Structure 1
């Protein structure tokens, strides 16, 4: 199996990150078998396109939510990597988990805090 799992849709709340916000997150290597995709549809023409990232970010976007890494954008790049026998991919990872205190187990309270309008203004987690 290439990926850890395949979903249809995002299980996490909307993060509200813009392309500029994503560009401030440094890419890191992630193994393909650690990723859960958020779409089941693969478009063959996009998969075979050489310039699929011409107008977008060079790095796929992933969100870490409740300990699981979800691939939000970049499925075609991830599949291309797998077809080339490359088990890792450079990905920008937004760590939603870092915004939630580890002792918080209330999903209602978590959803309420995450829906606050000030969320996108929070500083992005720094990588060591």
Structure 2
């Protein structure tokens, strides 16, 4: 098997990184069998194109979430590497686990009491006379 697994969609919320943010992360080497792509679609024209990264990042994008490595961008580069009998890919890693831990540690908001229950009111009837009891 080329990848650790395959998912259809992200298991994490949008992290909001821009292309410029990704470019600040240094590329590293990752083994393909440790990655889980988040798409089940593979476009043959992109796979066979030599210049598919002409306008994009040269490196794939990986997000670490709950200890797993998710291949967010670069599925075609990863499959191309596998077809060439390579077991690694160069990619940029965003450690969402570390980011969330740091964000939670920096947060000075503490919830000390439970939230009050949600109060619902009956919906008014449309048309006709309303009776007030």
TM-score tier (shorter): 0.7 to 0.9
The alignment covers a number of residue pairs equal to 103
Aligned-residue Cα RMSD (Å) equals 1.3
1:86 aligned residue: 86
Query: Could you give the per-residue CA deviations for residues 82-119 of structure 1, whole angstroms, max 9, x where no partner exists?
Result: 000110000101000112339x8xxxxxxxxxxxxxxx
Normalized against structure 1, the TM-score is what? 0.78
Structure 2 residue matching 1:64: 3-state secondary structure = strand
1:46 aligned residue: 46
Normalized against structure 2, the TM-score is what? 0.75
Q: Which has the larger radius of gyration?
A: 2
Structure with bigger RCO (C-alpha 8 Å, 6+ apart): 1
The runs of 5 or more residues in structure 1 that have no matched partner are 105-128
Q: How does 1:1-128 map to 2 (within 5 A)?
A: 1-101=1-101
- How many Å separate the matches in 2 of 1:69 and 1:95? 9
